[in-house]
Amino acid sequence: MGMTRSEHILARSSGKARVAPGDMVVGKADVIMGNDITTSLTVRILDANGITQFADPDKVFIVMSHFVPAKDIASAAMAKTCRDFARQYNIKHYFEAGQGGIEHALLPDEGYVVPGDLVLGADSHSCTYGGVNTFATGIGSTDLAAAWTTGELWLRVPETIKIVFNGVPKSPWVSGKDVVLFLISQLGDDGALYQAQEFHGEGTQHLSVEGRLTIANMAIEGGAKNSIFPCDDKTLAYEAGRAKRDFQGVEADADAAYAAVHEFDISNLEPQVAFPHLPSNCKSVSQAMQEKVAIDQVFIGSCTNAKLEDLRIAAKILDGHQLAKWTRGVVIPASHNIYMQALDEGLISIFAKAGFAVAEGTCGPCLGGYMGVIGAGERMLSTSNRNFKGRTGDVRGETYLASPAVAAASAITGFITDPGEVAPADTAAALTQFTE
């Protein structure tokens, strides 16, 4: 019996010829990452146990992303804990506010994670890196301390479900965000509980790597342990000039065993909108428009949809337009490098002229942190990954999830809007995440 992509990586990292679902393995990690929240907790654990050495300092990554620049005294103290720790141990891969960004965009965009890696990240959306053919999963701060200290961590090999996207969307406005919202609506919020999602099919083949990263990012919203895409020509082209290490991608064997196979025809898929208060509570944008949902704030950002491709799509729609009266806008590019590229391309200027508040490289209102949390009775349309009650501000507020294209269109009208209503089709054709 052959192995799936995830099983190949777990076998390789644990020094085994093969593994199977349910096996307990101890895998040697290639990248072990903490952010400002989780690292501050890990430092306490290390200090309490007198631990002062790492198995491999080059594999230690600390990315300041959630509450930096500091929003208050408490967050400043938390950040200082991380900074003092990074300075004390001269952490090579330490990324400060204004220099790094959100870890789940920064690490793949700058080639720190590469195909075939085992990536352990102390953040639930560490599954993002599966978009570039890694086994990547979230861990807690105690596990982060153990992994930094030993260089490895025990894992139970998950079952794999095979997801096949047949067809290529006819609508040029459909993106990876729409595909993953549709997928979660079909399988449910716990439809892949502790399972690996492995993607196949024509739709997968024609989807950009940025779109794949968006889908992998929201694997956890469906309960998955990890999500993994192929290492194909698109992956290799993406890694060219990015990858900071040699790599060896993986592919599933022809006789690999799957717990289930789910096939979806996405050729007629419309842009999707997740209504409060679950990512699975999806409607097509045409259905959403019938409800005439007024939007108080549009947020284009987060590790899900603030990559350069996302910003290009939103800016193209917004170019020459203004935010609707009484609708606020916040744009936060996901990393410093992405911000600089967006600046060079004139995208930041477009957002600013449209009336958006623009920052760089922080999670912001995605987790209800700062720079745009919503108040009681307010509605936010967000390109982030979660719309749980109270996640992005007051528990009496409401958050809707959508793609950058839908967010930009809705910012112009003040209501949830199909991008095709405000931008010509040839605009989308030049920016689509799906290519023939």
Same CATH fold assignment for domains 5-264 and 272-429: yes
Domain boundaries, given as residue ranges, for the chain: 5-264, 272-429
Query: Mean pLDDT score of the chain, rounded to an integer?
Result: 94
Q: Do strands 159-166 and 260-265 pair parallel, antiparallel, or not at all (unpaired)?
A: parallel
What is d(CA 247, CA 238) in angstroms, rounded to the nearest whole number?
13
Cβ–Cβ < 8 Å for 253, 18: no
Q: How is residue 264 written in tokens?
A: 């979806």
- Residues 314/320/325/328 CA torsion (nearest 10 deg): 30
One-letter amino acid for residue 247 of the chain = F
Q: Model confidence over 105-150: pLDDT tens digits?
A: 999 999 999 999 999 999 999 999 999 999 999 999 999 999 999 9
Of the candidates 377, 379, 427, 401, the one whose C-alpha atom is nearest the C-alpha of residue 301 is 401
pTM: predicted TM-score of the whole model, two decimal places: 0.95
Residue 430 has what pLDDT? 64
The answer to whether residue 369 scores a pLDDT higher than 90 is no
Q: How far is CA 376 from CA 218, 281, 379, 380, 381, in A?
A: 26, 21, 9, 11, 15
DSSP letter at 158? Answer: P
Percent of the chain clearing pLDDT 90 (strictly above) = 86
Once rounded to an integer, what is the mean pLDDT over residues 224-251? 96
The answer to whether residue 99 scores a pLDDT higher than 70 is yes
Mention the CATH class of domain 5-264: alpha beta
Q: Model confidence over 61-90: pLDDT tens digits?
A: 999 999 889 889 999 999 999 999 999 999
Classify residue 246 as exposed, middle or buried by CB count within 10 Å of its CB (0-12, 13-18, 19+). exposed
Contacting residues for 8 by C-beta, under 8 A, at least 6 apart: 250, 251, 252
Once rounded to an integer, what is the mean pLDDT over residues 298-309? 95
The answer to whether residue 428 scores a pLDDT higher than 90 is no
Residue 354 has what pLDDT? 97
Once rounded to an integer, what is the mean pLDDT over residues 245-273? 96
CATH number (3.30.300.20, 3.30.465.10, 3.60.15.10, 3.30.499.10) of 272-429 reads 3.30.499.10
Q: Model confidence over 111-121: pLDDT tens digits?
A: 999 999 999 99
Q: Model confidence over 42-59: pLDDT tens digits?
A: 999 999 999 999 999 999
368 pLDDT band, cuts 50/70/90, is: confident
